[in-house]
Amino acid sequence: MALWGGRFSQAADVKFKLFNDSLKFDYRLAEQDIIGSIAWSKALLAVNVLTTDEQVSIENSLNELLLSVQANPQQVLQSDAEDIHSWVEGQLINKVGDLGKKLHTGRSRNDQVATDLKLWCKKTAKELIVHLDTLEAKLIELARIHQAVVLPGYTHLQRAQPVTFSHWCLAYLEMLERDHSRLEGCLDRMDTCPLGSGALAGTGYPMDRTALAHSLGFKRATRNSLDSVSDRDHVVELMSCATLSMVHLSRMAEDLIFYNSGESAFIEMSDLVTSGSSLMPQKKNPDAMELIRGKSGRVFGSLAGMLMTLKALPLAYNKDMQEDKEGLFDALDTWGDCLEMAAMALTDLKVNEERTKEAAQGGYSNATELADYLVAKGIPFREAHHIVGVAVVAAIEKGVPLEDLSVAEFKQFSDVIEEDVYPTLTLGATLAARTALGGVSPQQVEFALTAAEERLAKRDTSGVTIRPASSADLESIEFIVNHWAKEGENLPRDKSDLEQSMSEFVVSELDGKITGCGSVHVYDTGLAEIRSLGVAPGFEGRGQGSAIVELLVKRAEKMEIKRLFVLTRMPDFFMNLGFSPESKTTMPEKVLKDCAMFVSQHASDERALELNYKTSMLLHKAMSKG
């Protein structure tokens, strides 16, 4: 049923419904709509619209729905609901009856969709930052490996001056770092919560919108209700970030396509990112790079379309704004795919050092060095420039590089040229002369590369906060622990047990939501166990488990724990963090007795591991890389 049908005496035409409905694309906001609805239910409880029992019932049902959607997002598309908001509300009503109809009190779809979209944008932007980090790390790795490889530099696609392959990598790193900076700035500006703005004039209930914003992981609430529901600057900014970054990726792709060509043969791209010809068996086509170059157009088009949609729209919300999602989703999906593919293409890239050096030596790329040599002999640069130009013509006619001309031949162009000219014309001398900041001398490249490695190492892009648990986290911890207990991964624990053990726990927090937990339980002096480690379903794969373990290890170190162990069905995870396998028979009797109380079909799969504090530095090293 439509959320707005009371005003109408006739049903909408079927064609209009198909034209009007947005579920076919805004189903991707299901998770955000449910999370926002849970936060709204708590706000309604605070202003006495819902009782505690009603709010708990709504929240529990929405959490069940969230898990279901995370497991199968496509299920939403089986509905004929108008949009994701009506689908979520309909599912809630199916679960809790008329109580579900109370949830929309004081809320409009205008502030609801604005909130959903911002939550999605924040989550996606953080994922894109990780993709940027990965590609930047690949460029730095490639630059470090090929630091001494000489490469011809080009202007107008004509060989100009020699550079190094490392310097080329660092050039694109600079572009990607600017992309990274723009994306972080965009994230900061969008970190405001529109929920509670109503349709356009604000909500009629005395909500604490600042508390509501913080509960959803926003820095603050928006300041103006009219702007809140009609603002799509963050959409444009994200698409703008994607567009400029795709320009950079497309330029890099074009370079690699050229370098990979038979005419250049500077590199060979991996079989993993190339394809063959259906007719010509010798072909190896750089399809991944060509697709990156081609897909840039669709991202550019999405930005242009969004700008045209917003142009001259009056305040506040207009249905035109429904057009904000398809282009955004496609642009950011495409950008993420291209970043990932570019990183993959750089992973197994082979560089033909002999060919790049040969090309760098050709094309008279040391002509500028000859001009500088003449300047050092007292000849004005403009005159030196002309002299070298004449010398190059003579060398071309003879079919030799400049350095193969004899001193007698050089003297035909200038009497000041002597034997000491030859050392200045070598590739090594040409590179070494560029010692100013940003140049291609070995010292400058090493300086730039080291600085880039340090900048990347200092970043914290997880977006996840790891902190000690508080009593307010109890319900979230109970949900996570017992969810994995049902899967046979953890010991089950009741609320009273967890409440008494709260001081042992740390939690991970993402966008205001508790998404992981773990505890370190001390048995007696010098002995402790990591327990109840888990990440909320749908939030795996973001490094939270490793970060939680790191903090628990630090806690154990402060308590001067001599032995820190874990019983787990995931030994590889802990071994990567510095733990070593141990026999269960070495575990204290108290530990084995506790575990024996938990009867599980998976109990025989458990492995005992212990952290050796002599190798605990391995853990910190792994964390700094993660």
Q: Which residues make Cβ contacts (< 8 Å) with residue 79, sequence separation at least 6?
A: 23, 87, 90
d(CA 317, CA 264): 55
- How distant, in Å, are the alpha carbons of 128, 203, 209, 313, 586 from that of 225? 29, 9, 11, 16, 63
Give yes or no: 156 in active site. yes
Task: Tell me the helices (H) and strands (E) count for the chain, helix number first.
Answer: 24, 13
Residue 482's H or E segment, with its range, is: helix 474-486
* Alpha helix segments (H runs only) across 191-323: 209-215, 225-230, 233-260, 287-310
Phi first, then psi: give them for residue 469, nearest 5 degrees.
Answer: -75, 155
d(CA 497, CA 127): 36
What are the tokens at 511?
A: 């966008």
What are the tokens at 423?
A: 């050392």
Whether residue 520 contacts residue 530, with contact meaning beta carbons closer than 8 Å, is answered with: yes
- How distant, in Å, are the alpha carbons of 160, 353, 488, 521 from that of 535? 54, 47, 14, 18
| 3-class secondary structure, 193 | strand
- Angle (CA) 504 506 511, round 5°: 155
> Sign of the CA dihedral 617, 622, 625, 626?
negative
Alpha carbon 21 to chain centroid, angstroms: 31
d(CA 548, CA 534): 9
* Alpha helix segments (H runs only) across 27-164: 30-46, 52-71, 84-96, 109-145
- Please choose, from the candidates 93, 70, 87, the residue with its C-alpha nearest in 3D space to the C-alpha of residue 26: 87
From the list 181, 261, 277, 470, the catalytic residue is 277
d(CA 536, CA 483): 8
d(CA 462, CA 625): 12
Strand partners, 254: none
Whether residue 206 contacts residue 47, with contact meaning beta carbons closer than 8 Å, is answered with: yes
From the list 156, 278, 471, 503, the catalytic residue is 156
Amino acid at 367: A
Alpha carbon 458 to chain centroid, angstroms: 16
Whether residue 517 contacts residue 505, with contact meaning beta carbons closer than 8 Å, is answered with: yes
Give yes or no: 22 in active site. no
Phi-psi sector, 55: left (phi>0), alpha (psi -120 to 50), beta = alpha
d(CA 119, CA 29): 9
Q: Which residues are catalytic?
A: 156, 277
